[in-house]
Amino acid sequence: MPQTLFDQIWDSHRVGARSDGRDLLYIDRHVLHELHAHHAFAQMERQGRPVHRPDLTFAVQDHTVATKPGRDDTTNPSGTAFIVAMREGCHKNGIRLFDVDDPEQGISHVVAPELGIVLPGATHAVPDSHASTVGGVGALAFGCGTSELAHILATQVMALKRPKRMRVRLDGRLDAHVNAKDVALKLIAELGVAGARGHVVEYAGAAVAAMPIEQRMTLCNLNIEMGGRSGFVAPDDATFAWLAGRPFAPQGALWERALAHWRTLHSDDDAAFERETTLDCTALEPQITWGTDPSQVVGISGRVPEPDAIEPARRAAAQSAFAYMGIAPGTPLAGLPVDRVFIGSCTNSRLPDLQTAAAVVRGRRVAPGVVAMVVPGSSRVKREAEAAGLDRVFRDAGFFWGESGCSMCAGGNGDRGQPGERCVSTTNRNFENRQGPKVRTHLASPATAAASAIAGRIADVRQLLAGAT
Amino acid sequence: MQPFTHITGVAAPLLKDDINTDQIAPIMHSRSLKEDYKAMLFHRARRRDDGSEDPGFVLNKPQFRTAAILVTGHNFGAGSSRESAVWSMLANDIRVIVAKSFADIYRENCLQNGVLPVVLSPQDADVFIARVVAADGTAPFTVDLMTQSISGPGGPDIAFDMPAAERTRLIEGLDDIELTLKHMDEITGFERRAADAQPWLQRTTDSRR
């Protein structure tokens, strides 16, 4: 019977079924972060339960770490207790921790694939909703809560109801200065913030095949913003080339054996999906959010929609977003003055994201009055960017160049905007108050964010580079 | 886990779609390992700019201060996987959330904590919402998981679906980890087979060491 790749991975990881009908899905790689780990460690200790597979478990300090150069445990005082508790829990339980000062520290979703910890066809869990970022290398990843985190520590399985299958076909070819972020925002706009609820999404099609692995990760990262249970791209030669030689990837004969298996990881031609949708990416322009949820999106040449143009069920939410964002219907997005720009987060903080932004910034200056930040997704990305001189490009232009972490994505480390500020951000959520009380977040690609920092206004990167103002 | 059989209490209407976990349980600016989950619930929505309580927010209204049932729209609990968004409900003695639909991870987190996530059919949801609004906190509703029904002022009982296994888990307050630990032999058996079939997944080696 024809199978989807999702079924192939699920069935090969299904340990059995529990009495309540849930499948027990084996988790090959479990990665913790400090914001939630301490609850689970405390629970395990209270219940006297050991960690079943510390060797398959990793931990990263990312949500609360300061980004200030020379940072330590106490640079962000509200993170100290979390960082210390995580360190103690990992030590006690024999879990490999990428600590604040570790050369491999970074955002879990960036670190796990770049070290080759997560692999094609592997199952992966993180107590964070953006776990499916690693779907970009063909892994099946689930975000989970704290109780589930403890459950995985104790048993190395998740007890799940089998999700439904969905395929999103991305056809056509992306124009210059348009990338996976723009595609994902367009998709969320089309499908809505609950459009993929209950489904695992396989992203396929010519536009996906042409995407570098980092962009596939951006695409899969934003899967949760349309409610998807998980999302991935079937691995291909580009994936294998990207993973080869990474520290935790198999080496030598084992690599060859793994590679032979990975080449079997694809959906059969006539496999059935409960839902299928297609988006033609040809002529797609850079996208940006205007409102307070990630489906409130327009093209960079577009305007804030008129209430009449919004479906009735979404109108009240739009009205509330107009007020919060301080923008009236009909206002063009391009040209809105910007106070702050943030380039980073698990969505857009990998080396190619920074290269794209640097190419826009090079030889230009951040507009007066704009606070602009670049926070690499991992300490490794930071080193590689510095080796390529990107830090100089950003610094010379007036950007802050930080130590890696989640930073302003959710502001858990104290990096936040001021009330009323308008911020163009490469992150994943434009929810009210997320980047600081009353901060007005516009989600966009690294290229759009960089162009907006230079222009001091929301800008079309294509016009900026063409010399128009 | 605290078992759930039935509860009688005031139902508070928070009639919006897509209420996300940043709204339910915001990441507080200064915080500690032992958070005040009671204060965390809708922390920002409950307050005005000057920090004082907003009397217009539903849970601040006198008749809804002790609400045990929250009634809301589609896709409740979207966004982050933070379980504090459920713990803050428990800390406020809200044990039932009646929604038109739930975000996947949020619903799982409810089940882990003995909070009952009820989804009504669109017609029943609209009828129930109208009754909750009409009651305006003056009379309680009862949500009974044993009989899978909601009763209260303004009309006949409303039935709701709940998968049998989840119902049992909630009623008996079963520990999720205990349920799975019964399968430990299967898990270790799987690990032995996986070590042969896909050995690169059953070990993690840093090749630089």
CB-based contact A214:A351 (threshold 8 Å): yes
CA-to-CA distance for A16 and A107, rounded, in angstroms? Answer: 32
* CATH number of the domain enclosing B123: 3.20.19.10
Is the per-residue pLDDT at A279 higher than 80? yes
Residues of A in contact with B201 (CB under 8 A): 28, 119, 122
- What's the mean pLDDT when you consider all of chain A? 97
Within-domain flag for B181: no
In angstroms, how far is CA B74 from the centroid of its own chain? Answer: 13
Indicate if A240 and A297 belong to the same structural domain. no
Under the banding of pLDDT at 50, 70 and 90, the label for residue A467 is confident
pLDDT tens track for A2-32? 999 999 999 999 999 998 889 999 999 999 9
The reported pLDDT for the residue numbered A20 is: 84
Cα→Cα distances A291→A329, A339, A424, A452, Å: 11, 17, 12, 17
What is the residue-averaged pLDDT of chain B? Answer: 95
The reply to whether residue A194 touches residue B169, judged by beta carbons under 8 angstroms, is no
Per-residue confidence (pLDDT) for residue A21, from 0 to 100: 86
Q: A 90-129 residues with CB below 8 A of B?
A: 96, 117, 119, 121-122, 127-129
- For residue A322, what are the domain limits? 287-465
In a domain, residue A282? The reply is no
Pair A359, A336 in one domain: yes
Domain, as residue range, for B88? 6-173
pLDDT given at position A242? 98
Which of B79, B194, B204 has the CB atom closest to A129's CB atom? B79
Number of domains in chain B: 1
A330 and A427, same structural domain?
Answer: yes
Asked if residue A399 lies in contact with residue A364, where contact means CB atoms within 8 angstroms, the answer is: no
Q: How far apart are CA A73 and CA B62, in angstroms?
A: 43
Q: What is the pLDDT of residue B49?
A: 86
A51-to-A34, A71, A248, B58, B199 alpha-carbon distances in Å: 17, 31, 21, 43, 21
pLDDT band with cut points at 50, 70 and 90 for residue A468? low
DSSP class per residue in B121-166: -HHHHHHHHHHHHHHTTSS-EEEETTTTEEE-TTSS-EE----HHH
Does the structure show a pLDDT above 80 at B162?
yes
Question: Are A327 and A200 part of one and the same domain?
Answer: no
Q: Which of B74, B166, B203 sits opposite A55 (nearest CB)?
A: B203
Residue B164 lies in a domain: yes
CA distance B91 to chain A (A): 16
Please indicate whether, in this complex, the C-beta atoms of A254 and B108 are within 8 angstroms of each other.
no
Same domain, A307 and A234: no
B133 contact partners, CB below 8 Å, separation of at least 6: B13, B15
How far apart CA A45 and CA A58 sit, in angstroms, is 18
- pLDDT of A196: 97
For the stretch A204-261, pLDDT in tens is: 999 999 999 999 999 999 999 999 999 999 999 999 999 999 999 999 999 999 999 9
Residue A357 and residue A440 in one domain: yes
Cβ distance of B108 and A145 shorter than 8 Å: yes
* Chain A: closest CA distance from residue B99 (Å): 14
What is the domain count for chain A? 2
Torsional sign, CA A452, A454, A455, A456: positive
* B206 torsion bin: left (phi>0), alpha (psi -120 to 50), beta (else): beta
The whole-angstrom separation of Cα B137 and Cα B68 is 11
The 10s digit of each residue's pLDDT in A440-460 is 999 999 999 999 999 999 999
Do A158 and A294 reside in the same domain of the chain?
A: no
Whether residue A441 contacts residue A434, with contact meaning beta carbons closer than 8 Å, is answered with: yes
pLDDT score of A1 more than 90: no
User: Whose CA is closest to B198, among A254, A438, A134?
Assistant: A254
Q: What is the CATH number of the domain that holds A95?
A: 3.30.499.10
Q: Which helix (H) or strand (E) segment is B105 a member of? A: helix B104-112
In chain A, the percentage of residues whose pLDDT exceeds 90 is: 98
Q: In what order do the strands lie in the sheet with B141-144?
A: B6-9, B141-144, B149-151, B158-159
Taking the C-alpha atoms of residue A298 and residue A305, their distance in angstroms, rounded to an integer, is 8
Burial letters for A183-192: b for 16+ Cβ neighbours within 10 Å, e otherwise? bbbbbbbebb
Rounded to whole angstroms, the Cα distance separating A378 from A344 reads: 10
Q: Look at residue A233 in the predicted model and tell me its pLDDT.
A: 98
Domain endpoint, select from A229, A248, A275: A275
CB A32 within 8 A of CB A62: no
For residues A51 and A66, give the distance between their C-alpha atoms in angstroms, rounded to a whole number.
29
Size of interface A-B (CB pairs under 8 A): 177
CA distance B190 to chain A (A): 6
Grade residue A188 by pLDDT with cuts at 50, 70 and 90: very high
In-domain check, residue A137: yes
pTM of the model: 0.97
The arithmetic mean of pLDDT across residues B109-116, rounded, is: 97
**Are the C-beta atoms of residues B12 and B71 closer than 8 Å to each other?**
yes
From B87, which residue of chain A is nearest by alpha-carbon distance? Answer: A146
Which residues contact residue B135 at a Cβ distance below 8 angstroms, ignoring those fewer than 6 apart?
A: B11, B141, B152, B153, B154
Residue A281 lies in a domain: no
Mutation target among A46, A118, A134, A197 for the B interface, most CBs of B within 10 A: A197
pLDDT value for B108: 96
Please tell me whether residues A251 and A113 are part of one structural domain.
yes
The pLDDT score that the predictor gives to residue A381 is 98
| B84 touches B35 (CB < 8 A) | yes
pLDDT score at B32? 80
Q: Identify whether residues A383 and A415 lie together within a single domain.
A: yes
The full DSSP string for B177-191 is HHHHHTTHHHHHHHH
> Which of B113, B180, B194 is closest, CB to CB, to A24?
B180
CB contact under 8 A, A198 and B103: no
Would the pLDDT of A376 be above 70? yes
Report the DSSP pairing between strands A287-289 and A297-299: antiparallel
Question: CA-nearest residue of chain A to B76?
Answer: A194
A40 Cβ under 8 Å from any chain B Cβ: no
pLDDT 10s digits, A86-128:
999 999 999 999 999 999 999 999 999 999 999 999 999 999 9
- Give residue B34's pLDDT: 86
Listed by number, the residues of chain A in 324-363 with a beta carbon closer than 8 Å to a beta carbon of chain B are none
The C-alpha atoms of residue A243 and residue A117 are separated, in whole angstroms, by: 10
From chain A, the residues in CB contact with B104 under 8 A are: 163, 197-198, 227, 229
Q: What is this model's ipTM?
A: 0.95
* Cβ distance of B22 and A429 shorter than 8 Å: yes
- pLDDT (tens digit per residue) in B126-161: 999 999 999 999 999 999 999 999 999 999 999 999
* CB distance A325 to A292 below 8 Å: yes
Does residue A306 sit in the same domain as residue A244? no
Of A317, A414, A433, the CB nearest to B22: A433
Return all residues near A408 (Cβ < 8 A) that are at least 6 apart.
A342, A344, A345, A373, A375, A415, A416, A417, A423, A425, A427, A435
Q: What Å distances lie between residue A239 and A117, A136, A142, A244, CA to CA?
A: 14, 8, 20, 9
Q: Give the per-residue pLDDT at B31.
A: 75
Query: A97, A160, A224, A347: which to substitute to probe chain B, counting the most B Cβ within 10 Å?
Result: A224
**Closest CB from A82, A151, A317 relative to B180:** A151
Mean pLDDT across the stretch A399-407? 98
Same domain, A176 and A33: yes
What is d(CA A398, CA A371) in angstroms, rounded to the nearest whole number? 8
pLDDT at position B1 is 85
A160 membership: H or E segment, kind and range: strand A157-160
Residues of chain A with pLDDT > 70, as a percent, come to 100
**pLDDT value for A223:** 98
Residues of B in contact with A229 (CB under 8 A): 104
**Domain stop point among A275, A307, A323:** A275
Q: Sorting pLDDT into bands at 50, 70 and 90, what band is B56? A: very high
Residue B165: the pLDDT is 92
- Decide if A138 contacts A265 (C-beta within 8 A): yes
pLDDT score of A390: 98
Sheet holding A123-126, edge to edge: A96-98, A57-60, A29-33, A123-126, A140-143
Q: Are residues A223 and A301 in the same domain?
A: no
* Spatial contact of B91 and B83, defined as CB atoms under 8 Å apart: no
The confidence score (pLDDT) of residue B29 equals 66
Distance of alpha carbon B19 from alpha carbon B134, whole angstroms: 23
Residue A142 is classified by DSSP as E
Residue A280 lies in a domain: no
pLDDT at A19: 85
Instruction: Please state, in angstroms and rounded to a whole number, the distance separating the CA atoms of residues A156 and A216.
Output: 27
Which residue, of A275, A301, A334, is where some domain finishes?
A275
Count the alpha carbons within 13 Å of A63 in the hemisphere toward its beta carbon: 25
